[in-house]
Chains A and B, each alone.
Chain A
């Protein structure tokens, strides 16, 4: 595995940018495999790119501790291989849209895979991180231990912050033993039957690790000790089947190839009907992917139901952040000069005084 520690160079780049601010700020780029994941409006002035992909390698891996600390530019695929050698995996299911996807990009994006409702989210598994903040300081928060309440939890805050709070250097994550056995069950059913199935899913909870409804078929993934999974499978109905859960998590199923693509987050078991285009339902109805839909209408519908929309491709929507000006104040506390990922911040965090974007 490539081992490159370019902490000094990254810190120096931030300090130089503080002395002589580039007109568009700094644009942080890791493996550059996720830039298509979130529609971002163009910012004013060209940003100078700060490449972190070269900052890579494992700093600490202790299988007995179920802890991995690795640099942000480390490839997730390489980490998978290392963990598999010890019958372990990340405690959260982390999407990797391409082979070059990095750990830092995953944390910055904060997306979760199909297993999210049944275990930990990526955010839940973060134990600590190091970063260069907007003052050019090298800072570490959290650590490598399971429980830690010293100081504010600024490590977990980096998850989903899209690199707007600093340059992530390394992350410590909680790991889990790889399940002994996994199996998929497939059922053909009309969408109208889904709410009943989500209620039933509660009974499968200790072993359920994913649900997906697409084109009239409901796929259920169960994982755990082999004896337990094999006992439950025949009680579900339907039949044994295969489903590419990895491609679902990595957004690489043919379904996701659409000109416009939005993701609707909803409270569990919401009765949600996507009118236009196709829909793919995950997380027992709590995440619905809609292709070629009307994003404005989706956002209105989601809001009425207590949810919100993230746009991957196509017209952007308001970020739906309703926590007053705390978002802005936090950004300024980390990055007073507004150096990092300016356009991303404007699109996904800044709100709500700004006029609607469409």
Chain B
């Protein structure tokens, strides 16, 4: 009998009492109404009730929780702010959910070494706010940056709008403290610009709480740019806007941000917050250029020229900070704005080579008609990172099934054009099936070997991120049947 099976057979009894003893009864939630808010993350179609929720105050609480779960063979899922979009923080049924949100202190900001040390519950935006006094900021900025926490950012390897030039989380974190399932504290990385041994920092990023629990993060801060200028370009077709993205990069410019919105996203956002977008455009690009003023001026000229020759119907340069902010506010509120158009929405996440963006957007349009669902697109075009937002009504009987099928078709199309099923939201439960399409059995086997080596009892965030080989084979057979059915 495996550890998890023996736990399910009742051998994990006494874990709640032991946690109360170790951590304090007031930090352990078990009552139904107290646990309910923790049943899902920001992908609420997947819910599960944990046996208990542990509200950790510090690393000692985390170590104590890990040790007890390890000793009693009880599954342990870690949750930060709960803003994840792939159900990575959905609790395991009758397991322990460890919440690090209350570990929310910035431990230090060092302007000399341009670093900050933070507990995992510190919100992404708080890091930049704290660093601003020193003329510094933390670059990765997910759309949820006012609510998402840095521990979760590391676990998911979060991206954001400004990652094209400055990289995603893994490029901006220097060190971690990580608690293993048996309660050992590892210091990974450090203040040096190189590290001895295997790159465990890379391994920890995007490991979705399956290998360890992050208790401290040291981030790299960078100087606030001397100048930032913002361009907005309107296009009469999605294809022309997509091609302009490649043309900008071809011209030798790496903008700080390069975002795209299609007509549905534009109209929803415009109605929601009057950002000043052109309602008659089929697509718009919003482009940030930053750096030394001479650098920005040179690149502005280049980009304006490229946009003109790429068929932009109008190119505007934000005249002041207020207009810039308004354009960006629109982009950052696009998800809630689109959310108002239908009772439910579901945002997916795939990355494709930039030159295939146009093909993928056209394919999404065709798929959406097949399943009779509307899809809006607002995404990080410079990275080729798409975020199709599927609108639906969950009360319609088969709506969720159709959404899942449409999402699967889109993600598998991303793989077919040389891309990936997730650029920044993570696999979690949501894209568990598509792992079987992106990876071979040998590759899944290598992932499982890593998991087995570092969490031999399989207690950390079970049944997420890496599917079993049996699951992969089942899913591939199922999809083959579906595709044959569609073709026939």
Question: Would you give the shortest CB distance from A39 to chain B, in whole angstroms?
Answer: 14
CA distance A287 to B352 in the complex (A): 37
Taking the complex as formed, is B439 at the interface, i.e. its CB lies under 8 A from any CB of chain A? yes
List the B side residues contacting A199 at CB < 8 Å. 112
* Known A-B contacts A147-B351, A205-B223; A121 and B443 likewise in contact (beta carbons under 8 Å): no
Query: A-B pairs with CB below 8 Å: how many?
Result: 254
A64 touches B249 (CB 8 A): yes
* Known A-B contacts A152-B450, A329-B454; A144 and B418 likewise in contact (beta carbons under 8 Å): yes
CA distance A144 to B356 in the complex (A): 13
A323 touches B188 (CB 8 A): yes
Question: Would you give the shortest CB distance from B349 to chain A, in whole angstroms?
Answer: 9
Contact-size category for B:
35 or more
Taking the complex as formed, is A154 at the interface, i.e. its CB lies under 8 A from any CB of chain B? yes
Q: Which residue of A lies closest to B251 (CB)?
A: A177
Taking the complex as formed, is A149 at the interface, i.e. its CB lies under 8 A from any CB of chain B? yes
- The segment out of B36-44, B93-101, B292-300, B470-478 that lies at the interface is B292-300
List the B side residues contacting A137 at CB < 8 Å. 442, 445-446
- The segment out of A18-26, A44-52, A246-254, A266-274 that lies at the interface is A266-274
Taking the complex as formed, is A314 at the interface, i.e. its CB lies under 8 A from any CB of chain B? no
- The segment out of A97-105, A184-192, A212-220, A305-313 that lies at the interface is A305-313
List the B side residues contacting A62 at CB < 8 Å. 353, 355
Q: Which residue of A lies closest to B205 (CB)?
A: A153
CA distance A186 to B113 in the complex (A): 24
- The segment out of B4-12, B163-171, B399-407 that lies at the interface is B163-171
Cβ proximity bits A296-338 to B, threshold 8 Å, 1 near / 0 not: 0000000000111010000000011111101101111110000
Taking the complex as formed, is A257 at the interface, i.e. its CB lies under 8 A from any CB of chain B? no
Taking the complex as formed, is A2 at the interface, i.e. its CB lies under 8 A from any CB of chain B? no
CA distance A150 to B434 in the complex (A): 10
Taking the complex as formed, is B192 at the interface, i.e. its CB lies under 8 A from any CB of chain A? yes
Taking the complex as formed, is A54 at the interface, i.e. its CB lies under 8 A from any CB of chain B? no
CA distance A66 to B445 in the complex (A): 31
B292 touches A148 (CB 8 A): no
B295 touches A224 (CB 8 A): yes
Other-chain contact of B184, A147, A160, A324 (Cβ < 8 Å): A324
Considering only residues 392-442 of chain B, those with a C-beta below 8 Å from chain A are 418-427, 431, 435, 438-440, 442
A265 touches B454 (CB 8 A): no
Cβ proximity bits A142-158 to B, threshold 8 Å, 1 near / 0 not: 01111111111110110
- The segment out of B16-24, B66-74, B194-202, B328-336 that lies at the interface is B194-202
Cβ proximity bits B105-121 to A, threshold 8 Å, 1 near / 0 not: 00000001110000000
CA distance A268 to B206 in the complex (A): 27
A151 touches B191 (CB 8 A): no
* Known A-B contacts A149-B422, A156-B202; A117 and B249 likewise in contact (beta carbons under 8 Å): no
Question: Would you give the shortest CB distance from B348 to chain A, in whole angstroms?
Answer: 13
Q: Which residue of B lies closest to A87 (CB)?
A: B252
Taking the complex as formed, is A237 at the interface, i.e. its CB lies under 8 A from any CB of chain B? no
Question: Would you give the shortest CB distance from A136 to chain B, in whole angstroms?
Answer: 9
Taking the complex as formed, is A283 at the interface, i.e. its CB lies under 8 A from any CB of chain B? yes
B113 touches A267 (CB 8 A): yes
A202 touches B114 (CB 8 A): yes
Taking the complex as formed, is B216 at the interface, i.e. its CB lies under 8 A from any CB of chain A? no
* Known A-B contacts A139-B446, A149-B427, A227-B297; A329 and B453 likewise in contact (beta carbons under 8 Å): yes
A227 touches B112 (CB 8 A): no
Considering only residues 150-192 of chain A, those with a C-beta below 8 Å from chain B are 150-154, 156-157, 159-161, 165, 176-178, 180
B420 touches A148 (CB 8 A): yes
Question: Would you give the shortest CB distance from B256 to chain A, in whole angstroms?
Answer: 11
List the B side residues contacting A135 at CB < 8 Å. 442, 445
A152 touches B198 (CB 8 A): no
Contact-size category for A:
35 or more
Taking the complex as formed, is A116 at the interface, i.e. its CB lies under 8 A from any CB of chain B? yes
List the B side residues contacting A63 at CB < 8 Å. 250
* Known A-B contacts A177-B254, A269-B112; A227 and B294 likewise in contact (beta carbons under 8 Å): yes
* Known A-B contacts A150-B427, A225-B299, A310-B196; A64 and B167 likewise in contact (beta carbons under 8 Å): no
Considering only residues 148-163 of chain B, those with a C-beta below 8 Å from chain A are 156-157, 159, 163
Taking the complex as formed, is A295 at the interface, i.e. its CB lies under 8 A from any CB of chain B? no
Taking the complex as formed, is B141 at the interface, i.e. its CB lies under 8 A from any CB of chain A? no
Question: Would you give the shortest CB distance from B249 to chain A, in whole angstroms?
Answer: 6
B198 touches A327 (CB 8 A): yes
B466 touches A151 (CB 8 A): yes
CA distance A306 to B435 in the complex (A): 40
A147 touches B383 (CB 8 A): yes
A145 touches B193 (CB 8 A): no
B420 touches A152 (CB 8 A): no
* Known A-B contacts A66-B249, A148-B422; A153 and B202 likewise in contact (beta carbons under 8 Å): yes
Considering only residues 444-488 of chain B, those with a C-beta below 8 Å from chain A are 445-447, 449-450, 452-454, 465-466
CA distance A225 to B466 in the complex (A): 45
Taking the complex as formed, is B236 at the interface, i.e. its CB lies under 8 A from any CB of chain A? no
Question: Would you give the shortest CB distance from A325 to chain B, in whole angstroms?
Answer: 9
List the B side residues contacting A144 at CB < 8 Å. 353, 418
Cβ proximity bits A122-143 to B, threshold 8 Å, 1 near / 0 not: 0110000000010101111101
Considering only residues 177-219 of chain B, those with a C-beta below 8 Å from chain A are 180, 184, 186-188, 190-200, 202-203, 205-207, 211
CA distance A123 to B443 in the complex (A): 21
CA distance A45 to B200 in the complex (A): 30
List the B side residues contacting A310 at CB < 8 Å. 196
A148 touches B351 (CB 8 A): yes
Considering only residues 254-297 of chain A, those with a C-beta below 8 Å from chain B are 265-269, 283, 286-287
List the A side residues contacting B353 at CB < 8 Å. 62, 65, 67, 144-145
Taking the complex as formed, is B246 at the interface, i.e. its CB lies under 8 A from any CB of chain A? yes
Taking the complex as formed, is B311 at the interface, i.e. its CB lies under 8 A from any CB of chain A? no
Cβ proximity bits B231-268 to A, threshold 8 Å, 1 near / 0 not: 00000000000000010011011100000000000000
B198 touches A153 (CB 8 A): no
Other-chain contact of B163, A147, A154, A177 (Cβ < 8 Å): A147
A145 touches B435 (CB 8 A): no
Other-chain contact of A227, B156, B298, B438, B449 (Cβ < 8 Å): B298
B249 touches A139 (CB 8 A): no
A124 touches B446 (CB 8 A): no
List the B side residues contacting A140 at CB < 8 Å. 443
List the B side residues contacting A241 at CB < 8 Å. none
B418 touches A120 (CB 8 A): no
Other-chain contact of B294, A133, A161, A228, A266 (Cβ < 8 Å): A228
CA distance A148 to B420 in the complex (A): 6
Taking the complex as formed, is B57 at the interface, i.e. its CB lies under 8 A from any CB of chain A? no
CA distance A65 to B202 in the complex (A): 23
- 27 A-B pairs with C-beta separation under 8 A: A64-B354, A65-B246, A110-B194, A121-B194, A137-B442, A143-B418, A145-B419, A146-B423, A147-B159, A147-B168, A147-B351, A147-B424, A151-B427, A151-B438, A152-B450, A152-B466, A153-B206, A154-B447, A165-B198, A206-B291, A225-B298, A227-B297, A227-B298, A268-B191, A269-B112, A308-B192, A330-B450
Other A-B pairs, 6, CB within 8 Å; known A137-B446, A224-B295, A265-B194: A65-B355, A143-B419, A149-B206, A206-B225, A287-B194, A348-B196
Top 3 A-B pairs, shortest CB-CB distance = A267-B191, A147-B423, A156-B202
